[in-house]
């Protein structure tokens, strides 16, 4: 049925086959790098090639040898990866030698059946294939099956021209050939094309693989592919069909990746900022540790020690000059006051001696005292009338003496300004000195308090403060206040802060200690050398300063320091000497005292009111001096010894009541606070007032308005010294009960 062609056509078809293979080789190089594409083209005209052809038509003119390559049957192009081709370059090519095709001929009107077989009369030898290693065998078999299944799948997708009724497998005769494994060795071997190598590999793989080796081969292929290609979890294997990728999916993945990178970037920036903050904190800590190191502390202590040593040395030299200037000023004022006191005492002594001679000398001679009295009265015609007589004026120097005094004071103060002229402000300014100690207190508080600096500062600042207080005269109101000097504001700021702040570790007692060691000694010096207890102005000024020190700085409260004790002793000593040396009330015959115009009466009244003035000056020291000492000086010595004696010699009641009112007003109110009875030292004074009330009522009828008004004045004096029983007795005797309630003589709540 199938006629074999002559042998001579074998070599001829070999050449043609070689040309056809060369052309296919040339076309195959262009698609080496793709994934085994399969192109199936349905031939328009079947050319006569290798194999046996059966047709109902008469065979046409044989085609030219060179035309078989262009008009050959179905063409299959299968490319493997370049890596697989290089590995199998030296293997034997297996091609299909016979193709069974059932296809329609486009030119024929009726279906044809063609069976192609090779026309080449080649001698075929079955060559025993070299035994490959088990791994290679598995690899070849697995790859052959994979390529076969892939090409079948692709060919079914691309074959759209095949009739639905024809079996689809008949359109790919090479598939059947690949499974039949035919092998051929040619006598004239040549270089094989890529297609031949692929086909040869497929054939070898089918021969060598069988059974369970396929699974191992697949596992090995998957492992090798995973090594070469990075896959994400969940993605399909590269050997399978890739999912469809759209622009939105790519954009979404890029956007997600960008957001992830942004988050990472922001996290890195936050970490960078944190690290920069840590670096700054570490640098600050290092600087703090460096600054607070023991070396810096030691350097500060050395500098402070040197500074204090220099200040002490400077003040040690300047204190001599300060003492000299201060002594000159106090000596000048003391000499001036001693001169005034001496003049006043001399005048009093001379006048007392003269009046004594006049009063008692004329009586002894038997002459009438009228002439002498008239003469003296004419000489003293400028003296105030009896009713207008009040406390005498303070002893004042003349205008010339005052001018000379102020000139000398100015010279001393000008000389004092040169004391610190050659000293820097760091060693002469209280503010600059305290700033050093304030720095010490702020930096090293423990060592500052352990060194008892608050106790050392008053002594250290004493020369400078004394130098600033040289112009201040506590006995004069026009000299200003000590709180207006620069040193006071500096010390106050150091102790209490700047007003709007409250310092924790402040030296609140430093200001009081400074005042005790500077202002109080200044007051003591003026009291001892300059103060005149008889002077109303000086007593008021110095006592007001002391009361302010007591209220604002608690100087005279609690346990007394040495400067305060010295000051008190100086005041008491000066008051005691004044009572003993300056109080003098002469006694004259009654005939002279009854005449208010007589010089004896006027001199006696002058001395009497001077003693009352001193009593009032003593009362200014209430709460500053011990109460017992003050009562002794005011009541026992001055009132009971001098004033009551003079009161008993008063003949006119109006003068006596006025004097008693002045005495009662001079007594401190603190003595009678909470008291309902008269003080023991005031019993004589109370008796004198009661006797005076009875004498007034005896001289005039009690119903008289003048009598009643005079008695009411006496009752008011008794009420001020808490003589309630005497008030009740007088009011009951003379029917003055209404006066008690109208004037609230027994109500002492306001006192």
The string of pLDDT tens digits covering residues 581-631 is 999 999 888 888 888 888 998 999 899 999 999 999 999 999 999 999 999
In contact, 584 and 348? CB cutoff 8 Å: yes
Confidence of residue 235 (pLDDT cuts 50, 70, 90): low
Does 42 or 672 have the greater pLDDT score? 672
Determine the average pLDDT of the residues in 327-335: 94
Does 243 or 303 have the greater pLDDT score? 303
Q: How far apart are CA 527 and CA 550, in angstroms?
A: 17
Question: Does the pLDDT at position 445 exceed 60?
Answer: yes
The string of pLDDT tens digits covering residues 423-434 is 999 999 999 999
> Percent of the chain, pLDDT > 70?
64
Per-residue pLDDT at 419: 94
Confidence of residue 395 (pLDDT cuts 50, 70, 90): confident
Does 237 or 129 have the greater pLDDT score? 237
Per-residue pLDDT at 29: 44
**Choice among 82-96, 207-221, 236-250, 286-300 with the minimum mean pLDDT:** 82-96
Per-residue pLDDT at 150: 56
H or E segment to which residue 100 belongs = strand 98-101
Q: How far apart are CA 390 and CA 662, in angstroms?
A: 10
Determine the average pLDDT of the residues in 496-512: 68
Q: Is 693 exposed, middle or buried (0-12, 13-18, 19+ CB in 10 A)?
A: buried
Does 59 or 543 have the greater pLDDT score? 543
Computed over every residue of the chain, the mean pLDDT equals 75
Q: Of the candidates 152, 138, 131, which has an alpha carbon nearest to the alpha carbon of residue 205?
A: 138
Q: Of the candidates 119, 101, 140, which has an alpha carbon nearest to the alpha carbon of residue 49?
A: 119
Determine the average pLDDT of the residues in 137-158: 53
Q: How many residues does the chain have?
A: 751
In contact, 40 and 172? CB cutoff 8 Å: yes
Determine the average pLDDT of the residues in 301-306: 94
Q: Of the candidates 138, 198, 192, which has an alpha carbon nearest to the alpha carbon of residue 174?
A: 198
Per-residue pLDDT at 593: 83
Question: Does the pLDDT at position 161 exceed 50?
Answer: no
Question: Does the pLDDT at position 12 exceed 80?
Answer: no
Per-residue pLDDT at 193: 78
Confidence of residue 720 (pLDDT cuts 50, 70, 90): very high
Determine the average pLDDT of the residues in 206-222: 68
Confidence of residue 242 (pLDDT cuts 50, 70, 90): low
Per-residue pLDDT at 294: 76
Per-residue pLDDT at 258: 93
Determine the average pLDDT of the residues in 641-669: 85
Question: Does the pLDDT at position 544 exceed 90?
Answer: yes
Q: How far apart are the first and last CA of the chain?
A: 165
Does 421 or 67 have the greater pLDDT score? 421
Per-residue pLDDT at 642: 92
């Amino acid at each position: 049925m199938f006629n074999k062609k002559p042998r001579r056509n074998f070599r001829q078809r070999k050449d043609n086959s070689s040309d056809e293979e060369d052309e296919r080789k040339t076309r195959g190089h262009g698609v080496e790098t793709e994934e085994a594409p399969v192109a199936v083209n349905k031939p328009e005209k079947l050319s006569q090639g290798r194999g046996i052809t059966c047709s109902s038509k008469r065979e046409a003119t044989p085609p030219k040898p060179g035309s078989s390559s262009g008009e050959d049957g179905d063409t299959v192009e299968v490319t493997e990866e370049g890596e697989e081709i290089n590995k199998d370059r030296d293997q034997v090519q297996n091609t299909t030698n016979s193709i069974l095709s059932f296809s329609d001929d486009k030119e024929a009107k009726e279906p044809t059946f063609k069976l192609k077989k090779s026309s080449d009369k080649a001698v075929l030898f079955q060559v025993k294939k070299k035994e490959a290693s088990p791994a290679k065998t598995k690899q070849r078999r697995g790859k052959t099956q994979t390529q076969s299944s892939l090409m079948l799948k692709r060919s079914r997708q691309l074959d759209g021209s095949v009739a639905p009724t024809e079996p689809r497998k008949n359109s790919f005769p090479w598939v059947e050939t690949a499974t039949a494994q035919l092998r051929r060795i040619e006598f004239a071997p040549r270089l094989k094309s890529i297609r031949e190598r692929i086909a040869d590999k497929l054939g070898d793989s089918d021969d060598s693989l069988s059974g369970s080796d396929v699974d191992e081969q697949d596992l090995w292929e998957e492992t090798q592919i995973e090594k070469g290609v990075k896959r994400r979890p969940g993605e399909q294997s590269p050997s399978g069909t890739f999912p469809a990728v759209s622009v939105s999916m790519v954009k979404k993945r890029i956007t997600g990746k960008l957001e992830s990178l942004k988050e990472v970037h922001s996290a890195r920036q936050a970490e960078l900022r944190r690290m920069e903050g840590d670096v700054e904190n570490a640098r600050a800590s290092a600087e703090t540790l460096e600054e607070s190191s023991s070396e810096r502390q030691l350097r500060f202590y050395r500098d402070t020690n040197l500074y204090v040593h220099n200040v002490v040395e400077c003040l040690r030299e300047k204190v001599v000059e300060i003492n000299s200037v201060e002594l000159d000023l106090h000596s000048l004022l003391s000499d001036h006051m001693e001169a005034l006191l001496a003049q006043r005492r001399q005048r009093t002594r001379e006048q007392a001696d003269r009046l004594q001679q006049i009063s008692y000398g004329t009586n002894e001679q038997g002459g009438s005292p009228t002439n002498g009295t008239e003469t003296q009265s004419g000489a003293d015609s400028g003296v105030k009338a009896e009713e207008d007589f009040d406390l005498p004026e303070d002893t004042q120097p003349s205008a010339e003496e005052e001018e000379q005094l102020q000139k000398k004071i100015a010279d001393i103060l000008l000389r004092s300004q040169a004391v610190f002229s050659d000293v820097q402000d760091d060693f002469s300014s209280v503010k600059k000195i305290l700033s050093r100690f304030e720095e010490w207190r702020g930096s090293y508080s423990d060592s500052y308090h352990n060194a008892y600096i608050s106790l050392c500062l008053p002594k250290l600042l004493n020369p400078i403060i004394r130098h600033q207080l040289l112009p201040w005269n506590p006995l004069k109101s026009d000299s200003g206040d000590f709180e207006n000097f620069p040193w006071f504001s500096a010390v106050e700021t150091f102790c209490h802060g700047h007003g709007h702040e409250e310092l924790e570790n402040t030296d609140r007692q430093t200001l009081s200690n400074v005042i005790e060691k500077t202002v109080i000694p200044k007051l003591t010096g003026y009291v001892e050398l300059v103060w005149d207890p008889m002077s109303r102005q000086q007593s008021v000024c110095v006592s007001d300063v002391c009361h302010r020190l007591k209220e604002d700085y608690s100087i005279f409260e609690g346990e007394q320091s040495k400067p305060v004790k010295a000051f008190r002793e100086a005041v008491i000593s000066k008051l005691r000497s004044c009572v003993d040396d300056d109080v003098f009330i002469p006694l004259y015959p009654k005939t002279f005292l009854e005449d208010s115009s007589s010089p004896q009466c006027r001199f006696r009244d002058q001395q009497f009111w001077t003693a009352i003035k001193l009593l009032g000056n003593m009362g200014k020291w209430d709460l500053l001096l011990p109460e017992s000492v003050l009562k002794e000086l005011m009541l026992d010595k001055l009132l009971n010894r001098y004033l009551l004696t003079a009161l008993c010699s008063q003949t006119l009641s109006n003068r006596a009541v006025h004097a008693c009112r002045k005495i009662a007003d001079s007594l401190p109110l603190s003595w009678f606070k909470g008291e309902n009875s008269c003080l023991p030292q005031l019993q004589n004074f109370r008796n004198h007032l009661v006797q005076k009330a009875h004498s007034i009522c005896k001289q005039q009828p009690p119903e008289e308005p003048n009598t009643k008004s005079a008695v009411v004045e006496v009752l008011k004096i008794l009420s001020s010294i808490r003589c309630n029983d005497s008030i009740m007795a007088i009011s009951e005797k003379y029917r003055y009960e209404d006066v008690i309630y109208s004037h609230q003589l027994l109500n002492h709540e306001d006192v």
